[in-house]
Structure 1
Amino acid sequence: MVHKEYNDKRDFSKTPEPQGSDASATGSHRFVIQRHRARKLHYDLRLEIDGTLKSWAVPKGPSMNPNDKRLSVRTEDHPLKYLHFHGTIPKGNYGAGEMGIWDSGNFDIDTTENDLGALQQFQKGNLKLLMHGQKIKGRFALVRTGEHGGKESWLLIKKKDAFSTDLFYDAEALVEPSQQPSKKYSKEIAPGQIVQPMLAGSAKEIFNDPEWIYELKWDGYRVLAHISNKGVLLQSRNGIRLNGKFPELARDLENLEHDTILDGEVTVLDENGVSRFGELQNWPDTKGTLRFYVFDMLYLNGHGMLDLSLLDRKSLIPDVIEGLHLTQYCDHIVGMGSALFDKAIGEGMEGVMAKTADSNYVPGARTEKWLKIKSVESEDALICGYTDSTTGGAAFGSLILGKSDGEKLKYIGNCGSGFSEAYRTELLETFGRYRTKENPFGKKLALKGRKPNWMAPVLECEVNYSERTKNGLLRNPVFKRLFNAPEISKATTGTRILKSETGSGSREIIKIDGLDVSISNLEKMYWPTSGYTKYDLIDYYLQVSDTMVPYLRNRPQSLHRHPNGILEESFFQKDNENVPEWMQTVTIHSKSSERDIDYLLCQNTASLIYMANLGCIEIHPWNSSTTDLDRPDYGIIDLDPPQGMDFKNVVKVALTVHQVLKEADIEGYCKTSGAKGLHVYLPMGGNYRYEEVRNFIKLICYFVQQRIPDITTMERRIKNREGKIYLDFLQNRKGQTVAAPYSVRPVEGAQVSAPLHWGEVEYGLGASHFTIKNMAQRLAKEGDLFAPVLEAGIDMGTALESLENMED
């Protein structure tokens, strides 16, 4: 029986869970994500594959942020009836606790990389998914990485697409209030730290209520403005920096004398004061007046305000922004929703926002305490394809729209108006990533002779329409926006550079993440013996950037530049003054230099390629981030052998480190340095100061040195090391850096600092095994082995007790 393991764990006379039976293939690909408040709160992902539910426990829950690689532990197969199960599993039963459905829907298998079906991809340990849920949408990868506590360990990874976000993502923020205990957020917020905005539900009709306030609904871009002594950051709802698009607004906000986070809508007004979204999209090449209407404030001068009532938060805004020109207060009225709605519609606006006066601010949550009420009918629709232009003069004719209807996809009409020809061309480029040969509706549509080009139903858009036909089709639909459109329409992340594009000595501009990045001298020889050029370096970093950037983001960078290759003179650079407008920096005071230093922050692929073009072969981030520069996210044991020592000795020391950590119940993660040594990282989670981490690492090194004193030393002076491997614990100082995971090193062969399975740390391992020519393929096969390093840190107190017991 397929579900024997499932049944053996349960007594069905004592649990309401459905009993398992033989697999029964339905041909469907359904999924459910259940929030399971058992001994430890976690989420259960279940995918319908080959007549059963393949299941994984996801401790932190799924994420829509591609930078989050969620550990997923494979559990036993569940019966299909579990798709709908929710309720209480009584105490004393396996998995006892509350089980609720967090999200559900259908999924497709993404076959753009191979032609394997769901079962075959599952068996290979590399599932490529297109998810169609209410909360979880778009492209995901589910990749097997090894074992965790005797069970299969996988990683659930969101891929960059129209639904992904760069923001902090917390599945708990989207839990229905009935399932979630009250939660305070105010301690976690500060200017410069990306915040997920609170989102509104919708209502069909306006109402009057004395406990609600009503605001005009501005039709623009949602923007959170961070203002502090570090400057101004304009953040989109998806965490994208908008300073470059609205520099005049950034300058306006620089006049504020307060540290604050403002939430509002950037819009362009016509001569009648009505917001025009189409004009805003083309700003600044458009007519109209730019305005930033502030309707909320999340932080003020050292204090988080999320737990205050909406009226209390709004009452402080006028004084804070007084005297600004482009930045205006979004006023409101109390109780009289109908009056404001009629006035708004009469003046040509979309409608109003209704909000409970006492509502708190819950980042990332879509709540019924905020409602949008519009006069024009609108629909959020899935783009299921597009038709060719009948005249041949346009990029495409119309969009083929669909809507999820239970387990099926329902056709709701075509939309051929609402976009300029330039925007049609941009959309068509985006559509190319989602093309498919299969009709997602499973039946022929009445398209009046127009040729369809089918797409996986992943991209979502908003359209306005006048009414519905009897068949449920939209009448006179007009395209309004592609969700995340300001960022998606110009994104070209992952652009590969062709050698023929630039010659020796030339300078070109390439688009990465929608940003202009200057590159030059691609043919310059960086590794003469190996024959690798600057082109090879930049091409490598483009391939691995999605995996590498999370280890760099928000961390000051110490630039080690080799502008003429590894055989010529190199130099370190910390201070950076003349950088592109989109490049972020952080100012840190240097006591030794008695001045402020502007360090680069590598926030995205464009930033990484900018650094590589400067000749930064190796990438050196701080161990701590701008969230708290005094508290590192990890500790490092650097195993530094003397020149010429057999690498098998380094392996022996690393295995001894691993044994000490295992005995102390500490999880460590090993990588090659990329040169002649190995690095072992310990997750710290930003919970301890540098001095505490350094002393802890020193203690571990002490235990290692005691066990193999013949080949290890903790002596700092090179002349006193006697040809032994140096256990370097001093890398754990503020501002000290080592090569980042996946960083290239300026040594012959273009070796890379490669994360390892502990099973790979064995005799025969060599520092030259991983290079810019094979690392991308290894990543595709193994996934990111270092992901847990950036997750929750160890409990140092418990670990110290274990180490003390070892000493006894």
Structure 2
Amino acid sequence: MTLNPPLEPMLAQARDAIPRPGPGGAAAELKFDGYRALLFTTDTRGGGLLVQSRHGTMLQSRFPDLVSAAGQLPSGLVLDGELVVLDENGQLSFPALQRRAATVRGAQALAAALPAHFIAFDVLQVEGRELLDEPYAARRALLEGLFVEHGLTPPWTLCPSTTDMATAEEWLNEWTRTPGIEGIVIKSLTGQYRPGVRGWTKVRRRESFEAIIGGVTGSLRRPNVLLLGRYDNTGRLRLVGKTVPLKAAAAQDVAALLTPAGPEHPWTGVRFTARWGSRVLLDPVLVAPDQVAEVSTDTAQDHGVWRHPVRFVRLRRDVPPERVPRLGHAIPPSFKGDDSI
């Protein structure tokens, strides 16, 4: 069977720590902060390249630099990987990727200024032969052979992989300090590729930060999600993130200290969406911005905004709001979500 878009990618379940490898062994790959994408080639000499997002959107018209490089690839190929973009300083940039993906108009000019790269971490079809039932170890060997045999060069990049869990731990602790790398993905060496199934494990490096509670979903008596802010250099309170739903004990602790916001609250009249790309609006209850929360979050940020929901750790009654670190630059007024693995 020949694979064609739309095709659901295999997914990963989030965990806090690297799991112990199973009997068949495991490999770890770097997790890049980009767009999950599937790549299909037809007649590559004629620019026959299709690029599908995780959710089935076709993106090739927005990335003409990838299409023009398709001649390096053989026909009948399906790759799974991460689509990333370099900014003007040569660093991986999620905002630059969003800019590239948002429009077809001017795509050629954007490609010259903000080049895209496809970081391949799996191969699902070679020369029209479907590989979903092959074990990961065999698919990885075919992927590495593909890069060697065809001498693939950027924008095609092979995702680093290791079977040494000590090396994987080092990657998680050290490599994630590099912008654009947010963690690792663990895969069973004997695992088959199962579209739509969360059969892999993703582990992101997490750090603790303080932020000001500016609003909640739910109610003052039973807050569900905290809306968190920080002041920018102009003294304006900016939304920087949202928590995952609070557990009952944490909600009770927070509720005891919340007070209703007055009419001068800086978020009065501001609309917040549930997540990036969503049109669903939140109906938050604004609160006096006088309580500080410690939260645990991964490294994915846009201009100081945490793109993934954060985890509430505890209240910091010893930290006044004015002592919370300020943002060094302006950020968008709404929180954005995730479109990765």
TM-score (norm. length: structure 2): 0.60
Instruction: Assess if the C-alpha contact under 8 Å between 1:341 and 1:351 holds in 2.
Output: yes
Of residues 357, 361, 364, the one that matches 2:193 is 361
Q: Please point out which of 303, 326, 338 is paired with 1:483.
A: 338
Which digits, 9 at most, give the CA deviation of each residue in 1:273-293, with x for residues without a partner? 763323322343896653211
Work out whether residues 37 and 53 of structure 2, in 8 Å CA contact, stay in contact via their aligned partners in 1.
yes
Q: Establish whether residue 403 from structure 1 lines up as the match of residue 220 from structure 2.
A: no
SS at match of 2:73: coil
Shift of 1:268: 2.6
Report whether the alignment pairs 1:306 with 2:132: yes
Aligned residues of 2:172 and 2:184 also touching (Cα < 8 A): yes
The equivalent position to 2:172 in structure 1, one of 335, 341, 348, is 341
List aligned pairs for 1:181-196, cutoff 5 A: 190-191=3-4, 193-196=5-8
**TM superposition shift of 1:342:** 4.2
Matches of 1:198 and 1:378, distance apart in 2: 30
Q: Distance in 1 between matches of 2:151 and 2:94?
A: 26
Structure 1 counterpart of 2:264: none
What is the distance in 2 between the residues matched to 1:386 and 1:260? 44
> Percent identity over the alignment?
23
1:328 has 2:140 as partner: no
Listed as ranges, the gaps of 5+ residues in structure 1 are 1-186, 414-423, 450-459, 486-808
1:281 pairs with one of 87, 93, 98: 98
Cα root mean square deviation, aligned: 4.8
Please report how far the alpha carbon of residue 425 of structure 1 lies from its aligned counterpart in structure 2 after TM superposition.
Answer: 10
- Deviation string, structure 1 residues 7-63 (Cα, Å, up to 9, x no partner): xxxxxxxxxxxxxxxxxxxxxxxxxxxxxxxxxxxxxxxxxxxxxxxxxxxxxxxxx
Corresponding position of 1:155: none
TM-superposition CA deviations, 1:392-448 (whole Å, max 9, x none)? x999942673533479995799xxxxxxxxxx9997997875254x74xxxx74434
CA distance in 1, matches of 2:336, 2:280: 18
Displacement of 1:351 in angstroms is 2.5
User: Residues 306, 225 of structure 1: CA spacing in aligned structure 2 closer, same or farther, 3 A cutoff?
Assistant: same
1:34-45 equivalences under 5 Å are none
1:297 aligned onto 2:297:
no
Contact 2:277 2:337 in 1 (8 A): no
Q: Offset of 1:296 from its aligned partner?
A: 0.4
Q: Is the 8 A contact 1:263 1:297 kept in 2?
A: yes
Task: Tell me the secondary structure at the aligned position of residue 138 of structure 2.
Answer: helix
Contact 1:202–1:373 (Cα < 8 Å) also in 2: yes
- Does residue 462 (structure 1) correspond to residue 298 (structure 2)? The answer is no
Question: Match for 1:351: what amino acid?
Answer: G
Structure 1 match to 2:68:
251
Q: Rate the CA distance shift 1:220–1:480 in 2: closer, same or farther, 3 A.
A: farther
CA shift digits 1:288-322 (9 cap, x unpaired): 65321100011222322111111111111234342
Provide the C-alpha distance between the structure 1 equivalents of 2:245 and 2:123, rounded to a whole number of angstroms: 36
- 1:383 to partner: Cα distance: 8.8
Q: Compared with structure 1, are the counterparts of its residues 383 and 462 closer, same or farther at alpha carbon in structure 2 (3 Å cutoff)?
A: farther
For 2:118, the aligned partner's letter is: F
Matches within 5 A, 1:680-759: none
1:447 aligns with 2:275: no
**Matching residue's letter, 1:333:** T
- Structure 2 letter corresponding to 1:331: P
Residue identity matched to 1:194: P
Q: CA contact under 8 A between 1:464 and 1:480: conserved in structure 2? A: no
Does structure 1 conserve the Cα–Cα contact (< 8 Å) formed by 2:36 and 2:54?
A: yes
Cα distance in 2, alignment partners of residues 226 and 383 from structure 1 = 44
Report the secondary structure of 1:483's partner residue.
coil
Instruction: Report if the CA contact (8 A) 2:37-2:51 is conserved.
Output: yes
Q: Give the equivalent residue in structure 2 for 1:375.
A: 205
Name which of 424, 430, 434 aligns with 2:281. 434
- Report how far residue 199 of structure 1 moved: 1.0
Tell me: CA distance 1:396–1:241, structure 2 relative to 1, closer, same or farther (3 Å): farther
Q: Structure 2 vs 1, CA of residues 229 and 334 (structure 1 numbering), >3 Å: closer, same or farther?
A: same
> SS of 1:292's equivalent?
strand
CA distance in 1, matches of 2:34, 2:112: 14
Instruction: Measure the CA separation in 1 of the matches of 2:64 and 2:208.
Output: 32
Cα deviation code 1:506-528 (max 9, x no counterpart): xxxxxxxxxxxxxxxxxxxxxxx
Structure 2 counterpart SS, 1:354: strand
> CA 1:343/1:229 → structure 2, altered by over 3 Å: closer, same or farther?
same
Letter of the structure 1 residue corresponding to residue 162 of structure 2: I
Give 1:482 deviation, angstroms: 1.6
Aligned to 1:785: none
Structure 2 segments unaligned to the other structure (5+ residues): 101-109, 210-214, 218-225, 259-269, 292-305
**Distance in 1 separating the partners of 2:174 and 2:94:** 20
User: In 1, Cα distance between the equivalents of 2:235 and 2:59?
Assistant: 30
Contact 1:463/1:481 (<8 A) preserved: no
- The structure having more radius of gyration, on CA atoms, is 1
Q: Note if contact 2:272-2:335 (Cα within 8 Å) is conserved in structure 1.
A: no
Say if 2:85 is the partner of 1:268: yes
CA distance in 2, matches of 1:272, 1:390: 27
Distance 1:389 1:469 in 2: 17
Counterpart of 2:313, as a letter, is R
Contact 2:229 2:240 in 1 (8 A): no
